[in-house]
Chain A
């Protein structure tokens, strides 16, 4: 099925380790992101280096447990020290973090060099890990019948602990993230939660470092939660989504690490690096396509809004032409001075004239008419007049269509909104006369039924607008 060298015994375990690490990190990362402490994760995962080296120098053994404890202590210490320098020294938060983690990292490098005589501790291993070697160091589980890599066992435990922490203290985490003061007031210590979180971040960073390196920890702490944050507004969904994204990017990253270099004739490259690139790709996809926050959907929505406003405008203009024809006749019969609203209408209304009136181009107007007739709001005007069939096609196309009954009703609703708004703006807001039309023109497209009723009520149900034109009411026809 797969067009490359894939070995479940090897790659399966690598992917498993990657997924576990990714999920464990992104579980905590969601809360770091919302607390604006993402970079503390970065600082902690860099700073565990001296803990590892120090524990080795003191205990003299490469036993995992000692190094684990040492690294976690230094990790938590990073958070504490940064806080201390920030508060006591009045140093900028970012700067105090920078001071602490770089100094710790440097001392870690130094210790590794000092210890180099006695042990092979590669600093490169800390940065980008050796996930490819995951399957080499296995523990046998006779009762399961398989041998599981040590790393996978450790990471499973850490993931479980993180999941339990997030699951059991979800509500506390939520409150203390949203409002630390409220959390403390309602009876549990926000700072306790804070340091528990920091400890777990340190534990996760340490557990992941030897298998996947700290770069993947940092990537998985920040990128999947950020991606999920673009996709949803609910915390619970965000946590679940970010775990999914993390798992998928871990798997995809490994595949990419094997496949992409082969296109250029190389062997596979660093899996950990590719996993964070995969997470980055996921973020980019969300950045572009996320339904609410994404760049393209937003552009499309704006375009669609502009488009539907134009269609509305064409519809109402058709209604106004009809109306002026109606009123114009009745008025010219009685008094000729009061027909100011209609005098602007030329005798033959064509598409170019509409385009000019609405400050747009003919092409857009034609499309709007086509859209309206597709929705059954208008119908071609001259279809039933035999005389016009001989006219040139270009002339025929630029003649305006007629409103259907549905279209007229819809147009009346919009015109009603418009004129009610004008009335409201004049009576309640004192908007200057010359700007009245422009302001109402904007609002009419966003006025729903409820708002219309309120407008009607607040302006005492007028029957004519400030310009003296009737306010139609489709419900009373």
Chain B
């Protein structure tokens, strides 16, 4: 077993080498192109296209065989697939333009009707008594294991052309996907650009058919691109990540399937890509769900922390003679639950902001804590002042609004406004609490 594993991973076997090389290149190209279709909000066009290719494959086989040729030659089949795929795209556009049927239904109509036609033609193909027709069904599920060196070369050339087109027209495609109207206003031939992009999708889809099959080729176009978006906010980086993810997924899937030949390679490739999506969805550094949850939690914690210090500062400010503040009194100041307050206090004392007298449940600010609390309170009151003066907000509401704003605003804006108010109040003076009505002064 381990010997077999080694043989696969070191690509000693010629056949394995061809298969892994072919699918990896395909994954790379599909990831790249998929980014553009995803951003153009056409993620599922590949789905319709792949299904629409089936009648072309079966038809090409029938015609080639009827004319006495070798029906199963890949170029002929792919040519047939391309023709009927393009027909499918044109039909979708016609339906969308000439009727009131929306894009999704148009995709569905083409997908199912063309596929039905393909299945019907396949039904005839299987009667042709040539014995070799069975291979056609591999286009539905994909059968990477039968890939020949010639097939892999075809994939490599087609993928390379697609990748080159995408790189050469990168900025034009970027503009097309982002702001079609602006592209038109600048005199770009929008329809032509769109046609080029769709042709690239057609080529990748058709070439991918035989690697992973027509139900799953859509996965190669959609999954890596959707996964990449979780990691970055930059288009070029997203395209690189998607390509790498697509390539890795294909590599892993094909390798697993080479090691355990019973497992279908198409399914394995998609599952590998799907796993990549799951990981990205959870821990993608930009938009991953867990990362976002964690960030929100951090924000909430820091807000709690600031509120706590401010409350303490204000309690000491009201009565400068007191030494410490009891837990129960603190609890009444805000709608904190006991558990939450407990956690906040523990953390603050661990970080050295407050000192805790455990037996009496009393708390006091450390020197460091007092400086920080003073800074926070000052900032909060500056904000309140700003809101009262410039935003016409009633003093009763100011506290809540200032709370909401000061935690979410950009630091540079806070700095700007603080300088603005500093100039009026002087650098160090602590503004009075606007709610206090002179009590604190």
- Do the two chains bind? yes
Taking Cβ atoms with an 8 Å cutoff, the residues of A that contact B are: 33, 36-39, 41-42, 46, 85, 88-92, 94-99, 102-103, 105-107, 109-110, 113, 123-124, 127-128, 215-216, 218-219, 221-223, 225-226, 229-230, 257, 261, 264, 266-270, 272-277, 279-280, 283, 287, 293, 295
The interface bits of chain B over 42-62 (1 if a CB of A lies within 8 angstroms of the residue's CB, else 0) are 111001000000000000000
Interface size class of B (residues with CB under 8 A): 35 or more
Most A CB contacts (10 A, CB to CB) among B112, B121, B141, B266 go to: B112
B122 within 8 A of A: yes
B116 within 8 A of A: yes
B226 within 8 A of A: yes
CA A46 to CA B277, docked complex, whole Å: 19
B230 within 8 A of A: yes
4 shortest A-B CB distances, which residue pairs? A276-B116, A280-B113, A269-B123, A273-B119
A92 touches B264 (CB 8 A): no
A113 touches B266 (CB 8 A): no
Cross-chain contact of A88 among B44, B264, B289 (Cβ < 8 A): B289
Stretch of B211-219, B301-309, B376-384, B391-399 on the interface side: B211-219
| 7 A–B contacts from the bound complex (CB under 8 Å) | A94-B43, A102-B222, A229-B101, A269-B124, A270-B120, A275-B116, A280-B109
Given contacts A39-B44, A94-B44, A218-B108, contact A277 B123 (CB under 8 A): no
CA A107 to CA B108, docked complex, whole Å: 23
B99 touches A287 (CB 8 A): yes
CA A275 to CA B115, docked complex, whole Å: 11
Given contacts A90-B287, A106-B219, A293-B100, contact A42 B108 (CB under 8 A): yes
Given contacts A36-B102, A218-B108, A280-B113, contact A102 B95 (CB under 8 A): no
B12 within 8 A of A: no
A109 touches B141 (CB 8 A): yes
A270 touches B112 (CB 8 A): no
CA A229 to CA B102, docked complex, whole Å: 11
CA A94 to CA B229, docked complex, whole Å: 15
Cross-chain contact of B113 among A89, A90, A268, A279 (Cβ < 8 A): A279
B127 touches A219 (CB 8 A): no
Chain B residues lying within 8 Å of A113, measured Cβ to Cβ, are 262-264, 267
Given contacts A94-B43, A229-B101, A270-B119, contact A219 B112 (CB under 8 A): yes
Task: Considering the complex, give the chain B residue whose CB is closest to the CB of A229.
Answer: B101
CA A226 to CA B126, docked complex, whole Å: 32
B179 within 8 A of A: no
B119 touches A85 (CB 8 A): no
Q: A315: shortest Cβ distance to chain B, in Å? A: 34
A261 touches B43 (CB 8 A): no
CA A216 to CA B120, docked complex, whole Å: 12
CA A106 to CA B220, docked complex, whole Å: 12
B216 touches A96 (CB 8 A): no
Cross-chain contact of A96 among B41, B116, B226 (Cβ < 8 A): B226
Given contacts A97-B44, A105-B215, contact A273 B116 (CB under 8 A): yes
CA A127 to CA B50, docked complex, whole Å: 14
Chain B residues lying within 8 Å of A266, measured Cβ to Cβ, are 124, 127
Chain A residues lying within 8 Å of B101, measured Cβ to Cβ, are 33, 226, 229-230
Q: B288: shortest Cβ distance to chain A, in Å? A: 8
Chain B residues lying within 8 Å of A109, measured Cβ to Cβ, are 141, 264, 266-267
CA A88 to CA B278, docked complex, whole Å: 13
B117 within 8 A of A: yes
Given contacts A222-B112, A273-B119, A280-B113, contact A95 B222 (CB under 8 A): yes
Cross-chain contact of A283 among B109, B119, B269 (Cβ < 8 A): B109
Chain B residues lying within 8 Å of A123, measured Cβ to Cβ, are 141
Q: A74: shortest Cβ distance to chain B, in Å? A: 15
A103 touches B270 (CB 8 A): yes
B102 touches A41 (CB 8 A): no
